[in-house]
Chain A
Amino acid sequence: MPPAKYTGRKVLRKEDPRLLTGKGQFVDDMHLPNTAHMALLRSPHAHAIIRTLDASRARALDGVLEILTGPEIRDKLNMLPSAAALPDLRIPDHYVLAVNRVRYSGEPVAAVVAETPYIARDALDLIDVDYVPLPVVLDPEKALEKDSPVIYEEWKSNLAGTMQLVSGDIEAAFRKADRVVKGRLLNQRVIPVAMEPRAVQASYQPGEKMLTVWSTTQIPHTLRSEIARLLKIADNRIRVLALDVGGAFGSKLNVYPEEGLVPYLAMRLERPVKWVETRRENMLATIHGRDQINYVELALTNDGRILGLRVRVIVDVGAYLQMLTALIPTLTAIMSPGCYKMLAFSFEMKEVFTNKMATDAYRGAGRPEATFLVERAMDLAAAELKMDPAEIRRRNFIKPASFPYTTRTGLIYDSGNYDKALKKALDLAGYTQLRRKQAQLRKQGKIMGIGLATYVEICAMGPARAFAAGGGWESAAVRVEPSGKVTVLSGASPHGQGEETTFAQITADELSVPFDDVAVIHGDTQAVPHGIGTFGSRTTAVGGTAVYMSAQKVKKKMTELAAHLLEINPKNVVWRDGKIVAKTNPKKFTTFQEVVRAAYSAKNLPPGMEPGLDATSYFSPQNFTFPFGTHICVVEIDPETGEVAIVKYVAVDDCGRVINPMMVEGQVHGGIAQGIGQALYEEAVYNEDGQLLTGELMDYVVPKADQLPTYILDRTETPTTVNPLGVKGVGEAGTIGSTPAVVSAVVDALAPYGVRNLDMPLKPEKIWRILRAKTSHRGTGTQR
Chain B
Amino acid sequence: MKLPITVTVNGTPHSSEVEPRLLLVHFLRDVLELTGTHVGCETGLCGACTVHLDGEAVKSCMVLAVQANGSKITTVEGLASDGELDEVQRGFWEEHGLQCGYCTPGILLAAHDLLLRSPDPSDAEVRGALSGNLCRCTGYQTIVAAVRNAARKMRQKTRHMKEVPMPAARPQKPPRAKKAARKPSAPGVAEVVP
A-to-B contact residues, CB < 8 Å: 6, 9-17, 19-24, 26, 28-29, 31, 118, 193-197, 244-247, 249, 276, 278-279, 495-498, 515-516, 661-663, 665-666, 669-674, 696-698, 702, 704-708, 710-711, 734
* Cβ contacts B113-132/A at 8 Å (1 or 0 each): 00000000001101110111
A670 close to B137 (CB less than 8 A) = yes
Interface secondary structure of B, over-half rule: loop
B98 close to A19 (CB less than 8 A) = yes
B188 close to A515 (CB less than 8 A) = yes
Q: How far is the CB of B137 from chain A (nearest CB, A)?
A: 5
- Do A195 and B189 contact each other (CB < 8 Å), given the known contacts A16-B98, A21-B76, A670-B138? no
A496 close to B96 (CB less than 8 A) = no
A17 close to B85 (CB less than 8 A) = yes
A195 close to B75 (CB less than 8 A) = no
A21 close to B89 (CB less than 8 A) = yes
By beta carbon, the residue of chain A nearest B89 is A20
Is B183 an interface position by the 8 A CB rule? no
Give every chain B residue within 8 A of A673 (Cβ-Cβ).
Answer: 136, 138-140
Give every chain A residue within 8 A of B105 (Cβ-Cβ).
Answer: 22
Instruction: State the CA gap A29–B190 with chains docked (Å).
Output: 31
Is B27 an interface position by the 8 A CB rule? no
B-to-A contact residues, CB < 8 Å: 19, 21-22, 29-30, 33-43, 45-46, 48, 75-77, 79-80, 85, 89, 92-94, 96, 98-105, 108, 123-124, 126-128, 130-144, 184, 187-193
Give every chain B residue within 8 A of A22 (Cβ-Cβ).
Answer: 34-37, 75-77, 105
Give every chain A residue within 8 A of B92 (Cβ-Cβ).
Answer: 16, 20
Give every chain B residue within 8 A of A711 (Cβ-Cβ).
Answer: 139, 141
Contact partner, B189, options A12, A21, A193, Cβ 8 Å: A12
Of the listed residues B76, B108, B188, the one surrounded by the most CB atoms of chain A closer than 10 A to its CB is: B188
Give every chain A residue within 8 A of B101 (Cβ-Cβ).
Answer: 15-16, 19-20, 24, 244, 246, 496
- Do A496 and B99 contact each other (CB < 8 Å), given the known contacts A12-B94, A697-B46, A705-B130? yes
Instruction: State the CA gap A605–B160 with chains docked (Å).
Output: 59
- Do A19 and B38 contact each other (CB < 8 Å), given the known contacts A669-B139, A704-B131? no
Q: How far is the CB of A615 from chain B (nearest CB, A)?
A: 25
Contact partner, A12, options B46, B75, B139, B190, Cβ 8 Å: B190
Instruction: State the CA gap A12–B41 with chains docked (Å).
Output: 30
- Do A662 and B96 contact each other (CB < 8 Å), given the known contacts A28-B39, A708-B139? yes
Contact partner, B21, options A10, A17, A118, Cβ 8 Å: A118
B93 close to A279 (CB less than 8 A) = no
A515 close to B189 (CB less than 8 A) = yes
Instruction: State the CA gap A31–B34 with chains docked (Å).
Output: 11
Q: How far is the CB of B57 from chain A (nearest CB, A)?
A: 15
Give every chain B residue within 8 A of A672 (Cβ-Cβ).
Answer: 139
Instruction: State the CA gap A17–B126 with chains docked (Å).
Output: 23
A666 close to B41 (CB less than 8 A) = no
B187 close to A706 (CB less than 8 A) = no
By beta carbon, the residue of chain A nearest B43 is A696
By beta carbon, the residue of chain B nearest A675 is B139
- Do A247 and B188 contact each other (CB < 8 Å), given the known contacts A21-B36, A118-B19, A195-B103? no
Q: How far is the CB of B32 from chain A (nearest CB, A)?
A: 11
Give every chain B residue within 8 A of A697 (Cβ-Cβ).
Answer: 41, 43, 45-46, 134
